Amino acid sequence: MMELRGLEKSYGGKPAIKDLSLDIHKNEYLTLLGPSGSGKSTLLRLIAGLEQPDRGGVFLDNAALLNMPAHMRNLGFVQQKYALFPHMAVFDNVAFGLRYRHLNPLDDEAEIRTKVMDMLELVGLSDLEMRKVGQLSGGQKQRVSVARTLVCEPKICLLDEPLGALDANLRERMAIELRRIRAALGVTFLHVTGNETEALAMGDRVVVLDNGCIRQVDIPEKIFTKPTSIQVAKFVNAYNLFPGKGRPEKFEYCDHKFPLRGDAGAARYYGIRYDQMRVSYQNDGQAGLSAKFVTSEFEGARIKYFFECPDVGVFEAEVHLGEEGLGRLQQGEEYYVSWDPNQALLFDGAGELMSGFGATEGLQ
Ligand SMILES: Nc1ncnc2c1ncn2[C@@H]1O[C@H](COP(=O)(O)OP(=O)(O)OP(=O)(O)O)[C@@H](O)[C@H]1O
């Protein structure tokens, strides 16, 4: 439905987007994940027509968009800071786009009322239509902002950190709402976020952006379990990554040796997920490290444990309540943290995932 082809954009000679190509499918929820400064907002602005690329093209249903001004592109843009009119009522904020848009503005008040009220019902704000926007909560403002964008029936809705200004509880509720609203309308969403949990939970597919380049585009499960590069493994924030060297049948990291099948001579990083680490009192014969318990973070259904050993530094293990554990760990005590070496990922010197070892054994 939308194609981005070889997009490039620099500011003052410094590239923000580098030769970026991407296909966005009809009726999908695409999340764009990347750290601060990776070029997420720049990419949205190029698509929306708020900036021009130095090179490349943007196509919507095979039509070139680059020479088309922003207001003619029929794209919706939900900004983080809402950009609403605080002294106007909810109804008028949502109706504004319908009345004043360049493509096909409406002046039939009955038609406007029907469309606005349908949209307010969809976002759960029917009873607040006359309330001034300045008197709404953050979550309600965000719903108005989404309603105002979607009422104009854009072909694609661009959302720039739409949940960023909400507190954690509300963010979770709005996340579910956004998925529901998108599914009900069948509009394509491109949702930008710096939060890996949000990107993985909400996207049908996730695009990982790093330093102006796409590192991986895949379904969330694949991004999480098979990051194709060390950068993606870092962004999903779920892996201990140990630098070292592959040898026949093992990976060496300082004085530690993690067993492997085959000769992974090109391996330079060993990755194992926090949730795959098991904490015990002694070496159980698998891959593992003896380490001191430093501290823990209680996160409801899971607990994050932080360990330290002198040459490794700090690493993490995640235990879910309900799993059999050791109970309360003693700060400063030595434990054995182990894992199944068949679940490890290996990355080569260029940071690329190596196939044929650990969790990728037997995969091409
Ligand atoms: N108008 C501008 N002038 C100069 N440099 C810019 C401009 N806009 C963006 N940049 C630079 O381009 C790079 C990408 O910025 P961008 O805002 O797209 O990143 P981002 O991933 O959206 O970051 P954040 O998550 O912090 O909003 C950064 O290095 C930024 O400093």
End-to-end CA gap in the chain: 30
Q: Which amino acid residue places its CA nearest to atom 16 of ligand 1?
A: 39
Residue 302 CA: distances (Å) to CA of 150, 170, 296: 37, 20, 10
Q: Are residues 196 and 314 in the same domain?
A: no
Residue 320 lies in a domain: yes
User: Ligand 1 pocket: which of 40, 43, 208 to mutate (most atoms <8 Å of CB)?
Assistant: 40
36 CA → ligand 1 middle, Å: 8
Q: Are residues 188 and 336 in the same domain?
A: no
- pLDDT tens-digit series, residues 225-257: 999 999 999 999 999 999 999 999 999 998 889
Task: Indicate if the pLDDT at residue 25 is higher than 70.
Answer: yes
pTM: 0.89
Q: Which of 181, 196, 363, 218 is nearest to 274 (CA)?
A: 196
Q: Are residues 253 and 131 in the same domain?
A: no
Residues contacting 299, CB < 8 A, separation 6+:
none
Domain with residue 168: its CATH number is 3.40.50.300
Q: Which amino acid residue places its CA nearest to atom 28 of ligand 1?
A: 37
212 CA → ligand 1 middle, Å: 10
- Residue 41 Cβ inside 6 Å of ligand 1? The answer reads yes
pLDDT value, residue 325: 67
DSSP designation for 253: E
17 CA → ligand 1 middle, Å: 10
- pLDDT tens-digit series, residues 147-188: 999 888 888 999 998 887 777 777 888 888 888 888 888 899
C-beta of residue 293 within 8 angstroms of C-beta of residue 332 = yes
43 CA → ligand 1 middle, Å: 10
**363 — pLDDT class (breaks 50, 70, 90):** low
- pLDDT tens-digit series, residues 279-297: 988 887 789 999 999 999 9
Q: Which amino acid residue places its CA nearest to atom 9 of ligand 1?
A: 42
Q: Are residues 126 and 258 in the same domain?
A: no
Q: Which amino acid residue places its CA nearest to atom 31 of ligand 1?
A: 37
Number of H helices, E strands in the chain: 8, 20
Domain total for the chain? Answer: 2
108 CA → ligand 1 middle, Å: 41
Q: Are residues 167 and 61 in the same domain?
A: yes
Q: Which of 227, 258, 282 is the last residue of a domain?
A: 227
- Residue 356 Cβ inside 6 Å of ligand 1? The answer reads no
Q: How would you class 75 by CB atoms within 10 Å of its CB: exposed for 0-12, middle for 13-18, buried for 19 or more?
A: buried
CA atoms within 13 A on the CB side of 30: 25
- pLDDT tens-digit series, residues 100-139: 877 778 888 899 999 999 989 888 888 999 999 989 988 8
Q: What is the mean pLDDT of the chain?
A: 90
Mean pLDDT of 305-312: 89
C-beta of residue 271 within 8 angstroms of C-beta of residue 348 = no
Q: Are residues 289 and 163 in the same domain?
A: no
The proportion of the chain whose per-residue pLDDT surpasses 90, expressed as a percent, equals 59
Q: Are residues 247 and 218 in the same domain?
A: no
H/E segment holding residue 133: none
